[in-house]
Amino acid sequence: SLSEKLGNIANKLRGSARVSEADLDATLREMRMALLEADVALPVVRHLMSEVRERALGAEVAKSLQPGQVIIKILNDALADLLGGQRRDLNLSKIPSVILLCGLQGAGKTTTAGKLARLLIGQGKKVALTSVDATRPAAREQLQVLAGQVDVPYIAGDGASAAAMAKSAVKQAGRDGHHVLILDTAGRQVVDDELMAEIREVAGAVGATERLLVLDAMTGQTALQIAEQFHSAVNMSGCILTKTDADVRGGAALSVAHSTGVPVRYVGTGEKIDAFELFDPQRMAGRILGQGDVVGLVEKIQAGVDEEQAQKAADRLKKGQFDLGDFAEQLGQMQNMGGMASMLKMMPGMKLPQDALDQIDDKPIKRMQAMVYSMTPKERKYPKLMNGSRKRRVAMGSGTSVPELNRMLKQFAQMQRMMKKMKGGKGRRMLAQMMG
């Protein structure tokens, strides 16, 4: 799914301590693929990508302390903006306010009329429902049943045409003192001129305050076309995305919101009458990126700690204070990063043949760590203190041997020399990478 894919990309970013412009481009390419596969329309993807790129470069992601987080935040904000920025409530100041629901047959208009009625009653509004499907009595009955379920009056409008029925229902709603009349209309299989003319006529006859397009989230690419046609006919004031529970790709909302400028107001999340929510662009963007708030927070803290550790080690390196304790800490980080071989591959200026890398065994890392942890802090700082009796003590304490300990101390001395050579920027970056 889109959220899975973008979530994966986000996770990868979270793990990287450094993002170059090339990394950024690679990440954007991955995002682009994920968005396209999720049925987000190409112009929307293009817009989003250029937006993210511009903001990322402006934010100097490569130089920031947590580049991955910064990119995720940028993408999150760009997505939210695309989805309408802030959530907007319906304009229901007029009494009665008429909410016109339009859309193709099967989009979920009638179900949504019931759901919306229930939601507005919960806000203390006096709501009534009416259907102006002039040709299908069964469609009107379906809404009548729903009205009974949510306990709001159903108003049957009189008249030969949909517009006439709508007009008479609005009059009735006014007489009965309702705040809101939700108007369910007839749908067709495909957008046709007859349907468009009828909806335009209904909207004009009742002066609907909100004209909401009910759109099946599973419609995919054609959602855009449908939205554009309805929008040009009645100037939609919003969109309700249904069946978001069944939509595995989730791209329709992005496309519709961006291309028509019609904001998504609510989402249907299931067949049940209470499976309906106010659409919140910020939350939706978060969901698409798969960032649970709690998870995100924990990761942020974690990233901050690692960053601090890397910075500390880098500072010590600069001052030539890099000791065995730092060494042991780094060995642990190395393991987390997939072992010695993958680390060596990342080291600048370190070109080892693959078969040599394959032979590297990471088990000794644990033993090395054990040896360091068996040393006193003073010994870690000044390995020269390690005489025969100290070595025997450490070997015993770590379950290793004196020759093994000697090898480790030699390796550390080599590493320290190498790091001194790479002091400064290069060494810092490498450390940052190592501490990841």
Site string for ligand GDP, 185-214 (x = CB under 6 A): --x--------------------------x
Q: Name the one residue in this structure whose structure tokens are 């043949």.
A: 353
Instruction: Tell me the angle at which helices 67-82 and 252-260 cross, rounded to the nearest 10 degrees.
Output: 60
Half-sphere exposure of 299 (CA within 13 A, CB side): 18
The one segment of 19-27, 55-63, 65-73, 268-276 that binds ligand GDP by CB under 6 A:
268-276
Site string for ligand GDP, 270-309 (x = CB under 6 A): xx---x----------------------------------
Residues with Cβ within 8 Å of residue 93, at least 6 apart in sequence = 209
Q: Name the helix (H) or strand (E) containing 77.
A: helix 67-82
Q: Among residue numbers 306 through 365, which ones bind ligand GDP (CB under 6 A)? A: none
How many residues belong to the site for Mg ion (CB under 5 A)?
Answer: 3
Residues with Cβ within 8 Å of residue 184, at least 6 apart in sequence = 101, 109, 110, 113, 129, 130, 131, 132, 133, 139, 143
Q: Which is nearer to ligand GDP, 273 or 422 (CB)?
A: 273
Residue 111 interaction partner, one of Mg ion, ligand GDP, none, beta carbon < 5-8 Å per kind: ligand GDP
Q: Name the one residue in this structure whose structure tokens are 């693959």.
A: 354
CA dist., res. 375 & res. 393, Å (int): 9
Beta carbon of residue 107, minimum distance to ligand GDP (angstroms, whole number) = 4
Identify the residue among 57, 197, 246, 301 touching ligand GDP (CB under 6 A): 246
Residues with Cβ within 8 Å of residue 271, at least 6 apart in sequence = 111
Identify the residue among 97, 110, 172, 242 touching Mg ion (CB under 5 A): 110
Site string for ligand GDP, 75-114 (x = CB under 6 A): ----------------------------x-xxxxxxx---
Q: Name the helix (H) or strand (E) containing 24.
A: helix 21-37
Identify the residue among 68, 268, 290, 436 touching ligand GDP (CB under 6 A): 268
The one segment of 78-86, 148-156, 189-197, 237-245 that binds ligand GDP by CB under 6 A:
237-245
Identify the residue among 243, 249, 380, 428 touching ligand GDP (CB under 6 A): 243
**Residue 290 structure tokens:** 């798969």
**Residue 120 structure tokens:** 């507005």
- Does the bond joining 96 to the residue before it have cis omega, within 30 degrees of 0? yes
Identify the residue among 3, 242, 260, 416 touching ligand GDP (CB under 6 A): 242
Q: Which is nearer to Mg ion, 22 or 138 (CB)?
A: 138
Distance of CA 33 to the CA centre of its chain: 15
Residue 130 in the binding site for Mg ion (CB under 5 A): no
Q: What is the CA radius of gyration of the chain?
A: 32
The one segment of 84-92, 262-270, 306-314, 350-358 that binds ligand GDP by CB under 6 A:
262-270
CB 181 within 8 A of CB 96: yes
Q: Which is nearer to Mg ion, 162 or 334 (CB)?
A: 162
Q: Is 353 helix (H, G, I), strand (E, B) or coil?
A: coil
Binding site for Mg ion (CB under 5 A): 109-110, 139
